[in-house]
Amino acid sequence: MEGKHSIPNRLNLLKKIGELTRSLVEDLCNGRSPTLKIDQFSSYCSEDSGKCCCSYNLPKGKEILTLQRESQSRRFDALLRVLLIVQQLLQENKHGSKRDIYYMHPSVFKEQSVVDRAVNDICILLQCSRHNLNVVSVGNGLVMGWVRFAEAGRNFDCISSPNTAHQIPVHVEDVEDIISVAEYILIVEKESDHYAFDDRAVFQRLANDQFCRKNRCIVITGRGYPDVPTRRFLHLLIEKLRLPVYCLVDCDPYGIDILATFRFGSMQMAYDAKSLRLPGIQWLGAFPSDCEKYQLPQHCLLPLTTEDKQKAEGILHRCYVEREAPSWRNELQLMLDRGVKFEIEALSVHSLTFLSENYLPSKIQMGAFI
């Protein structure tokens, strides 16, 4: 029955795996070549008129895997082998990563990407998320501020010490009892390609300045491009707390791509967009237009490289930008026109506490987000 199977818990998934296998065996018994129909999802395309049919929860088409073609039969084989491992994971209620799965049959899989694709295909076929298959990924997120929650019997009380960072739990499905007195959620992200290991630098700055002592909020950071547990955790917080969410990223194409990943989802996880995307998230900064507003010194403005420009153009032409965030286009275009980028740290040049005492509170109060 449709209703019973729509909750992707362990037993339902095991049932679905059983049914899938049965249908393949039936095909074989009746002399038919087995096929698998896999929906295709795409979080965006480059048709920027806004008239495409990209949608976050509807497939764009179907792919049919058969054993007739050699390349497809390899994919078929990999899929079934991974399915067998997933079945074992679910039966024994153990967890494994995609890398672990690869090493179980390295001679068959030959490459990690084969396993990654098989896991995605299985999620689409069984209509579930990756964590439902007990396939886990590493979680790198940190949370601090005015929130309290419990995970698997342990209490995370960020309220008692609002400037201490706690790790975001990996098994978000076990998070419960969320209580908060925050007024908003602030996400700070940087992609680190510098020699400073400083991908948590802005978060550290806020902790050091005791930002949460004076501002009733929850601050979250991942490590650059957000990982799945961090995104799921945010999704849960927003669902339960219904707070406004602001995002602070570097004013460069990678920062904006990170923002877009939070809001619209990533291509790789396009099939699971509806449980990962955060449509309410708003871009707080840093904007190209902040240069004049906050009188950033010229030297902090670094030139856009060729890759930067290509990336910015790419984001500008993504269909979802036109459809859902047209106000972002102006700022992106401004960045391309000027040909410069800057990092969040540029705002602290004149005063180290400028970010936490000035920029953030005033922007939020004035509603200067898009």
Catalytic residue (one of 44, 103, 225, 320)? 103
Query: What does the block give as tokens for 16?
Result: 């679905």
N-terminal to C-terminal alpha carbon distance within the chain: 44
Nearest 10 degrees: Cα torsion 336, 340, 343, 344: -70
Asked if 305 is part of the footprint of other proteins (rule: CB under 8 A), the reply reads no
Residue 350 sits at φ, ψ, to 5 deg, of -80, -30
Asked if 194 is part of the footprint of other proteins (rule: CB under 8 A), the reply reads yes
Asked if 153 is part of the footprint of other proteins (rule: CB under 8 A), the reply reads yes
Asked if 358 is part of the footprint of other proteins (rule: CB under 8 A), the reply reads no
| CA geometry: angle 207, 210, 215, nearest 5 deg | 110
Q: In this chain, which of 47, 173, 191, 345 binds other proteins, going by CB under 8 A?
A: 345
Q: In this chain, which of 49, 160, 295, 365 binds other proteins, going by CB under 8 A?
A: 160
d(CA 255, CA 102): 32
DSSP letter (8 states) at residue 43: S
Residue 25 sits at φ, ψ, to 5 deg, of -65, -40
Instruction: State in angstroms the smallest separation of the CB of 22 from other proteins.
Output: 26
Name the residue among 227, 186, 221 with its Cα closest to residue 204.
221
Asked if 205 is part of the footprint of other proteins (rule: CB under 8 A), the reply reads yes
Asked if 179 is part of the footprint of other proteins (rule: CB under 8 A), the reply reads no
Residue pair 95/18 in contact (Cβ under 8 Å)? The answer is no
Q: Please, which residue, 71 or 93, has the CB nearer to other proteins?
A: 93
Q: In this chain, which of 189, 257, 308, 343 binds other proteins, going by CB under 8 A?
A: 343
Name the residue among 171, 163, 300, 304 with its Cα closest to residue 232.
171
Asked if 7 is part of the footprint of other proteins (rule: CB under 8 A), the reply reads no
Instruction: State in angstroms the smallest separation of the CB of 332 from other proteins.
Output: 23
Asked if 198 is part of the footprint of other proteins (rule: CB under 8 A), the reply reads yes
Strand ranges, E, within the chain: 35-40, 61-66, 96-97, 135-136, 142-145, 147-151, 154-157, 166-167, 175-180, 184-189, 217-221, 245-249, 282-285, 302-303, 340-341
Instruction: State in angstroms the smallest separation of the CB of 143 from other proteins.
Output: 10
Residue 94 sits at φ, ψ, to 5 deg, of -110, 170
3-class DSSP state for residue 23?
Answer: helix
Q: In this chain, which of 64, 94, 242, 337 binds other proteins, going by CB under 8 A?
A: 94
Asked if 356 is part of the footprint of other proteins (rule: CB under 8 A), the reply reads no
Q: Could you confirm whether 103 is annotated as catalytic?
A: yes
Where does this chain touch other proteins (CB under 8 A) — which range of 68-76, 122-130, 345-353, 359-367? 345-353
Where does this chain touch other proteins (CB under 8 A) — which range of 6-14, 18-26, 95-103, 236-244? 95-103
Q: In this chain, which of 6, 40, 91, 97 binds other proteins, going by CB under 8 A?
A: 97
Q: In this chain, which of 42, 118, 139, 186 binds other proteins, going by CB under 8 A?
A: 139
Asked if 236 is part of the footprint of other proteins (rule: CB under 8 A), the reply reads no
- Size (the chain), residues: 370
**Residues with catalytic roles:** 103
* Residues of the shown chain interacting with other proteins in the complex, contacts defined by CB under 8 A: 88-89, 92, 94-97, 99-104, 106-107, 136, 138-140, 142, 151-154, 157, 160-161, 164-171, 194-198, 200-201, 204-205, 208, 297, 299-300, 343, 345-346, 348-349, 352-353
